């Protein structure tokens, strides 16, 4: 009889569990092979539960069961030592080699499942992290960094401002022909320094700008002339919105420097309240002044007495040769 016939006619299981090579002895097996044999023993016992229930009740029957298992494996050409058979029976009693499903509520199980499924949810987490990181980068570049740079620039401006306004005030005092101008410059410098000390950069900058304008005026020299060019008016009259029963009369003038070039002036428009830097403006005068200029122009189309004011070095304001009301406009068309 062949070994295949022995397997077919043995009383062992028909499930094909014993898959070890025939005539293999324990002496040639590694510890892993012993474990596999023990697992096979357990598998054999599980497929014949009636045999287990009959033979595992007491020690005598347990020994008989081990003997029957030995005969089953010998019939297949496998020599299994007693301690391996006993280990297999013991493993069956202890439910060894039995799959025990993990506790779904355990933290370790949840962490394990998260790790196994990391590729399914990980991309969403990485996407969310990338979006949050992008938000902080954009916020820093677009908002936070400019604020920091602005704060640094303001701090530097505040730290340097006292020295600048002091130098400006000194220049104004030395170049002004009127001592009162120097006194006012010192007061402006003090105002700017005090404002900078409390962090009020706006107030400090305003005082500094006033000092710069004063120094610019002191260094300017020009004549104020009545505009007398083709296509441009030399004088006009207006009815103010605040008092419709009144007429305001104006001469259109410009400041011309020693080089013959226009010197722009900072003028406040009395009708709008806006301050502008302009090359020509209209100064308010008495009606008699406008009438006199009109007669001069009507004579031959040229205004001979066209110089109505002069501004010399060291003075803040120009000296007028005509009576002015102090007001001015910058737009009349």
Q: What pLDDT is recorded for position 306?
A: 94
Other Cβ atoms closer than 10 A to 15: 11
Q: What pLDDT is recorded for position 74?
A: 78
Please report, for residues 11, 48, 80, 109, 167, the alpha-carbon distance to residue 75 in angstroms, rounded to integers and kept in the order given: 9, 17, 11, 44, 117
For residues 279 and 262, give the distance between their C-alpha atoms in angstroms, rounded to a whole number: 6
What are the pLDDT digits (tens) for 253-307?
A: 999 999 999 999 999 999 999 999 999 999 999 999 999 999 999 988 899 999 9
Q: What pLDDT is recorded for position 210?
A: 94
Tokens at residue 169, please? Answer: 């005030």
CB-CB contact of 267 with 330 (8 Å)? yes
Tokens at residue 81, please? Answer: 């030592």
Q: Output 166 or 86, whichever has higher pLDDT.
A: 166
* Mean pLDDT across 192-202: 88
CB-CB contact of 187 with 168 (8 Å)? no
Asked whether residue 42 carries a pLDDT value surpassing 50, the answer given is yes
Q: What pLDDT is recorded for position 9?
A: 36
Ordered DSSP codes for 244-308: TT--EEEEEEEEE-TTS-B--EEEE-TTT--EEEESEEEEEE-HHHHHHHHHHHHHHS--SS-EE
Closest CA to 213 of 172, 272, 159, 249: 172
CB-CB contact of 50 with 99 (8 Å)? no
Q: Please give the mean pLDDT across all residues of the chain.
A: 81
Q: What is the DSSP letter of 24?
A: B
Residue 220 makes CB contacts below 8 A (sequence gap 6+) with 257, 263, 311, 313
Q: What pLDDT is recorded for position 23?
A: 36
Beta-strand relationship, 235-238 and 248-256? antiparallel
Q: What pLDDT is recorded for position 4?
A: 39
For residues 285 and 306, give the distance between their C-alpha atoms in angstroms, rounded to a whole number: 14
Asked whether residue 104 carries a pLDDT value surpassing 50, the answer given is yes
For residues 265 and 253, give the distance between their C-alpha atoms in angstroms, rounded to a whole number: 11
Closest CA to 218 of 275, 169, 276: 169
Q: Quick check: pTM over 0.75? A: no
CB-CB contact of 314 with 274 (8 Å)? no
* Total number of residues shown for the chain: 333
Tokens at residue 263, please? Answer: 């010197």
Residue 289 makes CB contacts below 8 A (sequence gap 6+) with 249, 251, 322, 323
Q: What pLDDT is recorded for position 38?
A: 64
What are the pLDDT digits (tens) for 205-250?
A: 999 999 999 999 999 999 999 999 998 999 999 998 888 889 999 9
Q: What is the DSSP letter of 57?
A: S
Q: What pLDDT is recorded for position 117?
A: 83
Q: What pLDDT is recorded for position 316?
A: 93
For residues 220 and 212, give the distance between their C-alpha atoms in angstroms, rounded to a whole number: 12
Residue 110 makes CB contacts below 8 A (sequence gap 6+) with 104
Q: How many distinct helices (H) and strands (E) make up the chain?
A: 11, 9
Other Cβ atoms closer than 10 A to 284: 18
Asked whether residue 7 carries a pLDDT value surpassing 60, the answer given is no
For residues 13 and 90, give the distance between their C-alpha atoms in angstroms, rounded to a whole number: 19
Lowest mean pLDDT among 14-23, 121-130, 136-145, 151-160: 14-23
């Amino acid at each position: 009889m062949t070994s295949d016939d022995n397997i077919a006619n043995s009383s062992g299981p028909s499930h094909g569990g014993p898959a070890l090579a025939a005539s293999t002895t324990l002496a040639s097996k590694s510890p892993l092979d012993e474990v596999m044999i023990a697992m096979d023993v357990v598998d054999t016992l599980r497929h014949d539960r009636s045999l287990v229930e009959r033979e595992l009740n007491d020690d005598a029957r347990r020994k008989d069961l081990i003997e029957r298992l030995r005969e089953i494996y010998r019939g297949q050409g496998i020599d299994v030592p007693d301690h391996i058979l006993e280990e297999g029976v013991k493993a069956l009693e202890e439910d060894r080699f039995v799959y025990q499903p993990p506790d779904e509520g355990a933290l370790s199980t949840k962490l394990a499942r998260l790790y196994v499924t990391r590729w399914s949810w990980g991309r969403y987490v990485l996407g969310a992290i990338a979006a949050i990181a992008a938000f902080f980068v954009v916020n820093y570049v677009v908002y936070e960094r400019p604020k920091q740079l602005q704060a640094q620039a303001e701090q530097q401006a505040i730290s340097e401002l006292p020295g600048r306004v002091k130098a400006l005030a000194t220049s104004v005092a030395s170049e002004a022909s009127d001592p009162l101008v120097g006194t006012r410059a010192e007061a402006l410098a003090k105002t700017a320094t005090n404002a900078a000390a409390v962090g009020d950069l706006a107030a400090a900058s305003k005082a500094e700008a006033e000092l710069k304008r004063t120094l610019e005026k002191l260094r300017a020299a020009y004549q104020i002339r009545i505009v007398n060019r083709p296509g441009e008016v030399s004088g006009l009259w207006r009815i103010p919105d605040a008092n419709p029963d009144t007429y305001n009369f104006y001469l259109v003038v410009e400041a011309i420097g020693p080089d013959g070039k226009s010197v722009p002036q900072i003028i406040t428009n009395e009708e709008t309240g806006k301050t502008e830097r302009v090359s020509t403006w209209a100064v308010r005068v008495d009606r008699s002044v406008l009438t006199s200029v009109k007669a001069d122009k009507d004579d031959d189309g040229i205004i001979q007495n066209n110089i109505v004011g002069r501004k010399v070095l060291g003075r803040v304001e120009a000296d007028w040769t005509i009576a002015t009301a102090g007001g001015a406009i910058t737009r009349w068309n």
